[in-house]
Chain A
């Protein structure tokens, strides 16, 4: 079975559908792009020099409340907050054409939620009623402010349905658009309408972490978070951001120590010293994921190392 899937993947990925026409003048095209980058960089340098020539005397004469970004990490302070901040998410989408039965191939249950992916090649809205084995019709809204109804989903994106169930010794299913979706050994007594959980909106910042590879249980460990403003404009910090630190299952919200910083200048990074605690109960050898996410005053987020959703530390 594995061999068959391996072969099919190799065949699909080498299919002519992925062939692309070569560029007519590839060297010319790339050269134009490089010249544009160098010009922009030269302009940025020129502006920086000009700003320095004008700005330094001005700063001396008119000192502002905004301190320059420090080079060393801003020290950690333990400022735990109780209430999680509101997170900005994608706005509700207008309804699209209804999803068809042929779009509902791939589904799975995780926790208390049924997921059904859109296998079509266009956005569609899934709002068709779903019926459980016991005749109950799924509908209504379970708690959760971030949920958006109905489920308007892009290709590959899943629609969700919350379930209330108990484990039982027979296999059950839910039927939608004439398609029977297996729920395994779950006897469902109630189910919500289809919804999406829209993604968070990102602030234009890039965050990376440097953490030790190994940590000791029952002890704190220090790590550094670097927040980079790679944009050609200043990023304002009207309110010092809060952040979520999660090590394994243990998550806490805190306020950052901005140390008087009110903005991050263009093309500048700021380092923050962080500290986390490894509970005594963690077994030796456990590999824990360390997540870190800052939340700005407008609810946009900056997530550390989003490609890997954080870094892994090993308990030794």
Chain B
């Protein structure tokens, strides 16, 4: 018991310090990561939490991540998956969202409305759209980030775009 207590004391007393490579990475990339998280979740405060959480995890595993030669990809993947798996205590989302059958807005479709429709997409679909159109990821890269198959990526992208496209077509053709 005594040697173990000694080891625990040592663990507490040895304060973690950021390796230089990690410090440089955080200084150089945290702003872009904040912006990415904001685009992903649409909420500034949640974006800060997601990036803080992801960078802490990256810092603790830095030696392993640095060897993989793509620390930014690792952190973006962590941010995306933490966003998708978030459990909010009193505000649960429907988990089996289905695409709408038709979408017929009665108004013009300025970017503001397109932004709102994006905000209303289920998380998985929104994440696919953001990874494709903000980061220009390929389907394979999106699949790797989300930990799913390219089939699932295609299906989510297709559903999301169908929702947005139908509304756009309805506006072009005039209200019913």
Contacts of A204 in B (CB 8 A): 87
Residue of B at shortest CB range from A121?
A: B116
- Is A12 a contact partner of B115 (Cβ separation < 8 A)? yes
- Enumerate chain B residues within 8 angstroms of A38, measured Cβ to Cβ: 11, 16, 60
Q: Name the prevailing secondary structure of the B interface residues.
A: helix
Tally of chain A residues near chain B (CB < 8 A) = 69
Q: Does A49 touch B at the CB level, under 8 Å?
A: yes
CA distance A312 to B152 in the complex (A): 10
A182 at the interface (CB under 8 A from B): yes
A12, A20, A38, A204: most-surrounded residue (chain B CB, <10 A): A20
Does B84 lie at the interface of the complex (its beta carbon under 8 Å from any beta carbon of A)?
A: yes
Q: With A and B bound together, what is the CA distance between A200 and B104 in angstroms?
A: 29
Report chain B residues within 8 Å CB of A20: 31, 34-35, 38, 44, 47-48
Q: 1/0 contact trace for B131-146 toward A, CB 8 Å?
A: 0011000000000001
Q: In the bound complex, do residue A9 and residue B116 qualify as a contact, i.e. CB atoms below 8 Å apart?
A: no
Instruction: Scan residues 1-44 of chain A and give those whose CB is less than 8 A from a CB of chain B.
Output: 1-2, 4-6, 8-15, 18-20, 22-23, 26-27, 29-31, 33-35, 37-39, 42
Q: Is the CB of A307 within 8 A of B134?
A: no
The CA-CA distance from A96 to B96 in the complex, in Å, is 26
| Residues of chain A from 92 to 117 with CB closer than 8 A to chain B in the complex | 102, 105-110, 115, 117
User: Counting CB contacts under 8 A, is A283 at the interface?
Assistant: no
A199 part of interface (Cβ distance < 8 Å): yes
Q: Is the CB of B85 within 8 A of A307?
A: yes
Binds B, one of A74-82, A132-140, A173-181, A263-271: A173-181
Which residues of B sit under 8 angstroms from A6, Cβ to Cβ? 133
| Residues in chain A near residue B59, CB distance under 8 A | 30-31, 34
**Chain B residues near A107 (CB-CB < 8 A):** 100, 103-104
Q: Check B92 against A90 for contact (C-beta < 8 Å).
A: yes
Point out the residue from B60, B84, B111, B175 that lies within 8 Å of A34, measured CB to CB: B60
Alpha-carbon distance between A216 and B108 when the two chains are bound, in angstroms: 50
Sample of 12 more A-B contacts, CB < 8 Å, known A9-B129, A20-B35: A4-B168, A10-B134, A22-B31, A27-B18, A35-B15, A90-B92, A105-B105, A105-B116, A156-B116, A156-B120, A173-B176, A200-B92
Taking beta carbons and an 8 Å cutoff, which residues of A are in contact with B?
A: 1-2, 4-6, 8-15, 18-20, 22-23, 26-27, 29-31, 33-35, 37-39, 42, 45-46, 49, 53, 90, 102, 105-110, 115, 117, 119, 121, 154-156, 171, 173, 179-182, 184, 197, 199-202, 204, 291, 303, 306-309, 312
Listed A/B pairs (28) with beta-carbon separation below 8 Å: A1-B172, A2-B161, A12-B118, A13-B129, A18-B39, A20-B47, A20-B48, A26-B26, A30-B55, A31-B18, A33-B55, A34-B18, A35-B15, A37-B56, A38-B11, A105-B107, A106-B167, A109-B101, A110-B101, A121-B116, A155-B119, A156-B116, A180-B106, A184-B102, A202-B87, A307-B146, A308-B148, A309-B95
